[in-house]
DNA sequence: CAAATATAGATGTATATACATTTATTTCAA
DNA sequence: TTGAAATAAATGTATATACATCTATATTTG
């Protein structure tokens, strides 16, 4: 048992130290916790803040466009929007030309809350950059952009259609 | 309205392009989707695979130690373990010396499934590295380690106890 | 034009995440 | 030694995430 167990342990250590997904998920938990602790004082989570911010940057945007932009499943976005719509922070109105589409925008209250919460985001961002170092973050940030491009350049759904599985 | 709206839009674009948390969460969604698509063929999610792998690397480990190691709330870990324990992949047994503590380990079935799933993880990892580039990933990986250290070196809970709020 | 196909969003189900609180146990101090 | 404080895990609640599927609408094709 000992030899086999040692083999398993060594293999597991190797996977744990090389798995890209494990690394990015662990880091994301740490970063999210930092931002959430600041944003909680404004009654928002960082996920909600960034979602409202994304809508604000578009002014008005269909669900499917925003989901693609955020690399997020449409159904996930629908679910994430629910509490914001219920709280009167986000408006979802049917499109005039295509009845399937719903356009998202911030309500006046949503825009106001986003403005109120921004200083807390700034503190979180400042603490993060202070801890990590401006230069280091700039480098990692570039790397993240690179990964985003690399992964979004994958095969299109239409290409996959005739492919094996 | 137009001027104010433009201001809001510009501000939102600035936050969206600089927020570290938004960037890492977006990237993590993309990376997780890639790994999940491979691991699903083994009937596991990448989160479950990496959790089982982490337990395997310890051999046996208390919940609170694993949670700290993974930068994960203890309650989150408890919840994530639930389906694995129910499926008979992970064992959770009370510690002999401290009755509060529960030690986690893989069951034989868990070890077997981990082994079976490993080739799918290897394909995911290979696709990721192939798309991103070995050199780029090595650099980003170093940056992630740096961020992990920077954020875990924060104030201990005991230090926070007398702090404001 | 009508039938087949494709698309947008919503819903059912399941897991992932964390805070506040509860329960059981241990440690520490008067 | 016992009562207070601390710790480990579990539970209540709420949001985050995605797949399979469903409904409604739009587009394409025969």
Concatenating the DSSP letter of every residue in B15-72 gives HHHH-HHHHHHHHHHHHHHHHHHHHGGGT--HHHHHHHHHHHHHSSEEHHHHHHHTT-
Determine whether B120 is exposed, middle or buried from the number of CB atoms within 10 Å of its CB (0-12, 13-18, 19+). buried
Q: Is A153 on the interface with B (CB under 8 A)?
A: yes
Q: How many CB atoms lie within 10 A of CB A146?
A: 17
Q: Is A33 on the interface with B (CB under 8 A)?
A: yes
Average of per-residue pLDDT across B8-18? 94
Report which of B55, B131, B53, B43 is spatially closest to residue A18, judged by C-alpha positions. Answer: B53
CATH T-level fold of A43-146: Arc Repressor Mutant, subunit A (1.10.10)
Write down the pLDDT at residue B157.
41
Two tokens, residue A120? 């807390």
Residue pointed to by tokens 């190797």: A14
Q: Provide the residue-wise pLDDT of chain A in tens; the chain has 165 residues.
A: 667 878 889 999 999 999 999 999 999 999 999 999 999 999 999 999 999 999 999 999 999 999 999 999 999 999 999 999 999 999 999 999 999 999 999 999 999 999 999 999 999 999 999 999 999 999 999 999 999 999 987 544 433 333 332
Write down the pLDDT at residue A162.
31
Between CA A95 and C1' D28 the distance (Å) reads 22
Write down the pLDDT at residue B4.
81
In this structure, is the CB of residue A165 within 7 Å of any atom belonging to strand D? no
Which of A4, A11, A14, A27 best probes binding to B when mutated, by most B CB atoms within 10 angstroms?
A27
Q: Measure in Å the smallest separation between the Cα of A97 and chain B Cα atoms.
A: 24
Report which of B35, B63, B61, B52 is spatially closest to residue B109, judged by C-alpha positions. Answer: B52
| Per-residue burial over A70-89, b = 16 or more CB atoms within 10 Å of its CB, e = otherwise | bbbeeeebeebbeebeeeeb
Q: How many Cβ pairs closer than 8 A exist between chain A and B? A: 200
Helix (H, G, I), strand (E, B) or coil at A147: helix
Q: How many CB atoms lie within 10 A of CB A98?
A: 10
Report which of B24, B32, B26, B73 is spatially closest to residue B50, judged by C-alpha positions. Answer: B32
Cβ-7 Å neighbors of strand C: A 25, 29, 32-33, 36-37, 40, 62-64, 67, 74-75, 78-79, 81, 92, 98, 100-102, 157-158; B 45, 47-48, 51, 71-73, 75-76, 79-80, 83, 98-100
Residue A22 CB-half CA count within 13 A: 19
Instruction: List CB contacts of B51: < 8 A, sequence separation 6 or more.
Output: B70, B80, B81, B84
Architecture of domain B18-132 in CATH? Answer: Orthogonal Bundle (1.10)
Which strand C nucleotides have any atom less than 7 A from protein CB atoms? 7-21, 24-27
pLDDT tens digits along B84-115? 999 999 999 999 999 999 999 999 999 999 99
Q: Is A128 on the interface with B (CB under 8 A)?
A: yes
Helix (H, G, I), strand (E, B) or coil at B96: coil
Q: What is the pTM of this model?
A: 0.90
Residue B133 CB-half CA count within 13 A: 11
Q: How many CB atoms lie within 10 A of CB B148?
A: 17
Nearest nucleotide, CA A79 to C1' = D16
Give CA B47 to chain center in angstroms.
7
| Domain ranges (residues) in chain A | 43-146
Per-residue confidence band for B161, with pLDDT thresholds at 50, 70 and 90: very low
Write down the pLDDT at residue A1.
61
């Amino acid at each position: 048992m000992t030899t086999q167990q040692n083999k398993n342990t060594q293999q597991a250590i190797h996977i744990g130290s090389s798995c890209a997904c494990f690394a990015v998920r662990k880091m994301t938990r740490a970063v999210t916790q930092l931002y959430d602790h600041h944003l909680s004082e404004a009654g928002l989570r960082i996920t909600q803040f960034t979602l409202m911010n994304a809508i604000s940057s578009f002014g008005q945007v269909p669900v499917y466009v925003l989901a693609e932009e955020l690399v997020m499943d449409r159904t996930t976005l629908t679910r994430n929007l629910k509490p914001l719509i219920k709280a009167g922070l986000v408006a979802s109105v049917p499109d005039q030309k295509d009845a399937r589409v719903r356009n998202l925008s911030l309500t006046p209250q949503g825009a106001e809350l986003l403005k109120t919460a921004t200083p807390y985001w700034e503190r979180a961002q400042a603490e993060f950059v202070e801890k990590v170092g401006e230069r280091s973050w700039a480098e990692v940030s570039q790397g993240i952009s690179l990964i985003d491009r690399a992964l979004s350049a994958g095969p299109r759904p239409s290409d996959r259609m005739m492919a094996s599985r």
